[in-house]
Copies of this chain bind each other. A is one copy, B any other.
């Protein structure tokens, strides 16, 4: 199973699932399935989502559980 940050990335931008679904051209319920982890995005959809959010793929999807964005940002700052 693949972990993703779609929900945070989406809500951070103040978008509804419908908004995001239209942007990447899938059914709005598909976004719900991904956010709930009911199934994984296809590689193509993953690319489209990462491109839409303007983040590298591995910032939106991962084989391993994510830290929160805040944790990761704090860790990065500490590393400077």
Report A's interface with B, CB cutoff 8 A: 1-2, 40-44, 46-48, 51, 56-58, 61-63
Contacts and interface: CB of A to CB of B under 8 A. Distances in A.
Given A2-B47, A40-B44, A57-B58, 11 more contacts: A2-B43, A40-B42, A41-B43, A42-B43, A43-B43, A43-B46, A43-B61, A47-B61, A47-B62, A47-B63, A51-B63
A51 B57 CA distance: 13
A31 to B, nearest CB: 15
Nearest to A1: B44
A40 B42 CA distance: 8
Contacts of A63: 44, 47-48, 51
